[in-house]
Amino acid sequence: MDLHFSPVTLEEAERFYSYWQKTPQRSIDYSLVNLWGWQQHYGLEWCFTEHLCWIRQTWPCFTAYWAPVGDWHAVDWAACLADGPISFIRVPEALEALWQEQLPGRISSAPARGQWEYLYAQSDLVRLPGNRFHKKKNHVSGFIRTYGEPDYHPLDDRMAEDCLALQDTWCQWHDCDHSPSLTAENDAINRVLSHYNTFHNLCGGSLYIGKDIVAFSIGERLDEQTMGVHYEKGLNDIRGVYQTINNVFCKNACTDVQWINRAQDLDEEGLRLAKESYHPAGFLHKFTVTLG
């Protein structure tokens, strides 16, 4: 492919959103919040063509193409991908299926389990119904017994500053300086919250005890039926803080969606167990794809 890439920047935000709105299946990976937040860590670059925004990562160890964003159904894929072989990572299932249909005999794909995005029913995370959610509900009840009804505030300038302060405290407790992955996540959170007014459909909520912030959740409307959750942080010494911020964020910021997308687990065992403990209703599957 003869494409000319440049680093992902906020100066091209409106152009990107015009492509994003036409994307048939919107993975949280491909939102501008995610691309911009992780741009430095992955060396993310993009290139705009007539119907597509092509994306590739150039760091840390190799160059890899991600799936393109845009109107997949407006593209002649046989002509567009005539040169091969070429490989793509993080390919959403709807695009993988379209390539299988339009490029018969050229597609080799494998599920990328660590990249599957967890989808939860909004009603489950709000109501925490039945025995499946008994432990989660107990944690929320314990928080309320100890600290009173949750003091929840939506995202604004003051909350963004408080979130950054809490993130700094969280990083000190978790020794982010000695963890490359936590350092990268910390950088992403700081980049996004420092420019939160730039992004379409970004929202968030914070939880306070007295005057002190103890947790926050930052999300983004991905489509008409889905809210994505990018970041969720809380002070670990407060019982039930994570279960409570999850619950009140869904009650307040997700009232008109059916699904909550809480991103992938990256094959990390602890993260997988935590995500599975909320009983996902399904997944947005993703694949590694090679076109011959």
pLDDT tens string 200-226: 999 999 999 999 999 999 999 999 999
234 close to 241: Cβ distance less than 8 angstroms: yes
Residue 236 DSSP symbol: T
Per-position pLDDT tens, the chain of length 292: 679 999 999 999 999 999 999 999 999 999 999 999 999 999 999 999 999 999 999 998 789 999 999 999 999 999 999 887 899 999 999 999 999 999 999 999 999 999 999 999 999 999 999 999 999 999 999 999 999 999 999 988 888 999 999 999 999 999 999 999 999 999 999 999 999 999 999 999 999 999 999 999 999 999 999 999 999 999 999 999 999 999 999 999 999 999 999 999 999 999 999 999 999 999 999 999 999 8
Q: Which pLDDT score is estimated for 61?
A: 77
Measured in Å, how far apart are the chain's first and last C-alpha atoms?
Answer: 13
Half-sphere exposure of 79 (CA within 13 A, CB side): 3
List, for residues 154-176, the tens digit of each pLDDT value: 988 888 999 999 999 999 999 99
> What is the CB-side half-sphere exposure of residue 41 using CA atoms within 13 A?
17
Using alpha carbons, list the distances in angstroms from residue 112 to 225, 252, 284: 24, 33, 11
Going from the C-alpha of 272 to that of each of 115, 117, 138, 255, the distances in angstroms are: 11, 11, 21, 26
154 half-sphere exposure, CB direction, 13 A CA radius:
8
Length of the chain measured in residues: 292
Half-sphere exposure of 17 (CA within 13 A, CB side): 14
User: Structure tokens of 179?
Assistant: 């963890």
